[in-house]
Amino acid sequence: MPDRDSRPKNPSASFKCSRAMRVAVLMTAVLLLAAGCQTTYYAVWEKLGKEKRHLLKDNVEKVREDQAEASEQFASVVERIKAMYGFEGGELEDVYEKLSMDYRACEERADAVRDRIDKVERIAADLFKEWEAEIATIENVKFKSKSRVSLEDTRNRFARLQRSMARAEASMKPVLTNLQDYVLYLKHNLNAQAVTSLRKEVADIEADVSSLIADMNRSIKEADAFVKTM
């Protein structure tokens, strides 16, 4: 019979410790990628059982999530702008403050989408480079040929996704510029007359945001298609 003192006194303690270590490793991986230490970044993830293809799939899924959240935020700021009509005085001031916060949230969402797309492109480039090098070491002609076909197919599918992401990313800049102009103008002219004079601009912003959301949705669909085949 095992000695009573040899038994684990707190089974949850080891679980919490291992979980804390895992979180620490993940944070280290994030910092390494941000610092440009790609090789070490991948080495850390490989110790956790994830290779480049897993990281690419995970980050494409996160691009999809970031784009969906950005779409919701841009739609929200348009609703906030439309809500300004009919308000006066102090009420108008309150709505403007919320609009300003919504605009800043749009900027943050847009930055998150850009950063995630950059990360996806870096991981994809490294994956394809590694894949090429590994194919060169295969001696079996049949295996070599099939691996080459698989690589080219994945590259082509990623190229479609990349074009879709780039289009959605490019659509954000003019929308953010117009929103910034609108918010700053209101800051300098916060009165019912100024708000009323901007009705046409509001319609243009709404149309631009609708177009942006459509681009985001197309990119999200491409991301779904790519993830399903990984």
Whole-angstrom distance, CA of residue 49 vs CA of residue 29: 13
Residue/partner pairs of 160-166 with CB below 8 Å, 24 or more apart: 160/222, 160/226, 161/60, 161/219, 161/222, 161/223, 161/225, 161/226, 162/121, 162/124, 164/215, 164/218, 164/219, 164/222, 164/223, 165/63, 165/117, 165/120, 165/219, 165/222, 165/223, 166/117
Q: Degrees (nearest 5) of the Cα angle 77, 80, 84? A: 140
Which amino acid would we find at residue 146?
Answer: K
Q: What gap in Å lies between CA 18 and CA 46, rounded to an integer?
A: 17
Residue 18 confidence (pLDDT): 56
Mean pLDDT of 4-14: 49
Task: Write 191-194 long-range contacts (CB < 8 A, 24+).
Answer: 191/92, 192/87, 192/88, 192/92
DSSP at 9 = S
Split at pLDDT 50, 70, 90, the class of 84 is confident
Interval 167-224: pLDDT, tens: 999 999 999 999 999 999 989 988 888 888 888 899 999 999 999 999 999 999 999 9
What average pLDDT does the chain have? 87
Confidence of residue 13 (pLDDT cuts 50, 70, 90): very low
pLDDT, residue 2, reads: 46
Which tens digits make up the pLDDT trace of 69-81?
Answer: 999 999 999 999 9
Neighbours of 181 (CB within 10 A): 12
Tell me, what DSSP letter sits at residue 7?
A: S
CA distance linking residue 1 with residue 5, whole number of Å: 12
Cβ atoms of 191 and 92 within 8 Å: the answer is yes
User: What DSSP designation does 157 have?
Assistant: H
Condensed to tens digits (0 to 9), the pLDDT of residues 116-166 reads 999 999 999 999 999 999 999 999 999 999 999 999 999 999 999 999 999
Predicted local confidence at residue 40, as pLDDT = 87
**How many other CB atoms are found less than 10 A from the CB of residue 64?**
21
